Chain A
């Protein structure tokens, strides 16, 4: 028989899978019935919506900030480029969990937040920090500002991947630096920027669960609130996991179509095999710190 080794390996793998499936289905402690009861519980659905909101707003902050920081980093001015490096060093060098907690307790540092002329000048508007920095805002700031540092490096790598001849051609046509960046460099950099940004978004979806530490009812904390009352810990964690998996799958499919869009004009079109790759990436386990792999 040809490929007998492959047959043996397949048989072993199938056997192991069968054992696991059997135990998962027949272990009553999984309480699949409870999972079903809570999957569409209004509190869970609301938490899932909050997780989506947090993810998209934090990524929005991260991407905008990332582009600005990347452009600053590549500026000929050492002050501007240094400022960007400092930001990236600081926000990448401290855990995002610490940053979220920090924003939650920023009121201890600055009890009042005001807009006005600095160095003791006229104040136009002022509010209490505890009033302004709600847990949602603290979570968003923690996640978004941290993401900005990672996105800055991704965008910078993308910009550097574009051939210098492109910038030269654009300059020779009288295009200025910012116009060149917007019309020529960034659209080409997108092909390099999109795949890791997709990974970052998927990672952010899961990292947003850290906001549970400041007691904001996103998906995980909503589940925790329920099991702290009914003690159905495992089923509720499974409910949360199912929602996370559902969202990451949707995001992966979206990423496939965005990548295909930005691959136009190149011979290496995204093909079906890449879709499989994207799905595999989504399933890949990533560490909670949201770092670049």
Chain B
């Protein structure tokens, strides 16, 4: 579903990704761990082309992200083509980024009706099912400002799911939440993982990574330090840097 080969990314002089390679099969959940500034969020944003990569190759579901290959040459995709690809990849942000001028329901039906051209009645029915699934059936007509952080994040998850994505990206989805609100969001994500969604999750929630993850990737200074089954990596980290990081967060 996702394949990265030597992905490089720089912001000016600062090299944030120094050759990241990994692979993720459909239906798997990959959790990415690492200190802040290690490049894990940047890598996530490269997957749906919110950031352009400077080197390497990135494939989602068999097609290159942001580019078209003809022979040896890469051509950048047009805006409409990039948008089409992004519609297949859901993303959940640390700061939720709900549309504040729309109710929870309007947030969820916005992209299906305006991007996919789904009929309003169908979109509303699907949105209600999704909001029900994340436990917010009674909040459909509420504006984001009147929702708690945890509720907002669950609306954001429903909004991403409404596009029926092949792959879901989570960028530190619980980092901006009060501790007592984290549980509901993680539960919604666990549910999603059980239903077989392919997910890449950048997180600091070690417990979630251990239980819900199929693979755990530890990144530091723009490279993958080690990766493997979460229980193994967490119990017996092979690398000093992993060990040092885990000793601080566990």
Contacts and interface: CB of A to CB of B under 8 A. Distances in A.
Interface stretch (A140-148, A167-175, A280-288): A167-175
B145 interface: yes
Contact of B50 (A168, A184, A188): A168
B199 to A, nearest CB: 15
B99 A174 contact: no
B111 A174 contact: yes
B: interface residue count bin: 20 to 34
Given A175-B111, A176-B80, A165 B145 contact: no
A40 B144 CA distance: 51
Contact of B145 (A168, A177, A265): A265
A293 B46 CA distance: 43
A265 B163 CA distance: 24
A128 B137 CA distance: 66
B123 to A, nearest CB: 13
B111 A173 contact: yes
Contact of B48 (A170, A172, A184): A172
Contacts of A170: 99, 111
B97 A165 contact: yes
Interface in A128-173: 163, 165-166, 168-173
A179 interface: yes
Contacts of B58: none
Contacts of B163: 173-174
Interface string B155-171: 01001100100000000
Interface in B138-158: 143-145, 156
Interface string A172-204: 111111010001100110000000000000000
Interface in B153-202: 156, 159-160, 163
A169 B102 CA distance: 14
Contacts of A49: none
Contacts, number: 74
B25 interface: no
Interface in B88-109: 88-91, 93, 95, 97-103
B87 A173 contact: yes
A176 B79 contact: yes
B115 interface: yes
Contacts of B156: 169
B99 A169 contact: yes
Contacts of A267: 145
B57 interface: no
Contacts of B88: 174
Contact of A166 (B50, B79, B83, B99): B99
User: Which 5 A-B pairs rank lowest in CB-CB distance, beginning with the nearest?
Assistant: A174-B87, A169-B97, A173-B111, A172-B91, A265-B143
Given A173-B160, A173-B163, 16 more contacts: A163-B97, A165-B97, A166-B99, A168-B93, A172-B50, A172-B89, A173-B86, A173-B87, A173-B159, A174-B87, A175-B115, A188-B100, A188-B101, A262-B101, A264-B143, A265-B101
Interface of B: 48, 50, 79-80, 83-84, 86-91, 93, 95, 97-103, 110-111, 114-116, 143-145, 156, 159-160, 163
13 contacts: A165-B97, A169-B97, A169-B99, A172-B90, A174-B87, A174-B115, A176-B80, A176-B83, A179-B114, A184-B99, A188-B100, A188-B101, A265-B100
